[in-house]
Amino acid sequence: MLRQRIITALALLAVLLPALFASAQGPFAMVTLVLIGAAGWEWGRLNGLAMATAVFVGLLLAAACAATLAVGWMGRTPRAVWWLASLAWLVGGALALRAGPSAWPRLPSPLRIGLGFALLWAGWLALVQARSIGINFILSVLCLVWMADVAAYFGGRAFGRRKLAPGISPGKSWEGVWSGQAGVLLLAAIWAWVEVGGGVDSISLFRVLFTQLGLLLGAVALLALAGMSVVGDLIESLVKRAAGAKDSSGLLPGHGGVLDRVDALLPVFPVALAFVTL
| pLDDT exceeds 90 at position 76 | no
At 224 the pLDDT is 97
| pLDDT exceeds 90 at position 255 | no
At 112 the pLDDT is 96
Task: Show the CA angle centred on residue 246, arms to residues 178 and 231, nearest 5°.
Answer: 30
Q: pTM, whole model, 2 decimals?
A: 0.95
Tell me the pLDDT band of 187, cut-offs 50, 70 and 90.
very high
- What's the rounded mean pLDDT across residues 240-249? 94
With CA atoms as reference, report the closest residue to 115 among 100, 141, 101, 96.
Answer: 96
Q: Pick 67 or 77 by higher pLDDT.
A: 67
At 1 the pLDDT is 60
At 254 the pLDDT is 83
| pLDDT exceeds 70 at position 157 | yes
| pLDDT exceeds 80 at position 115 | yes
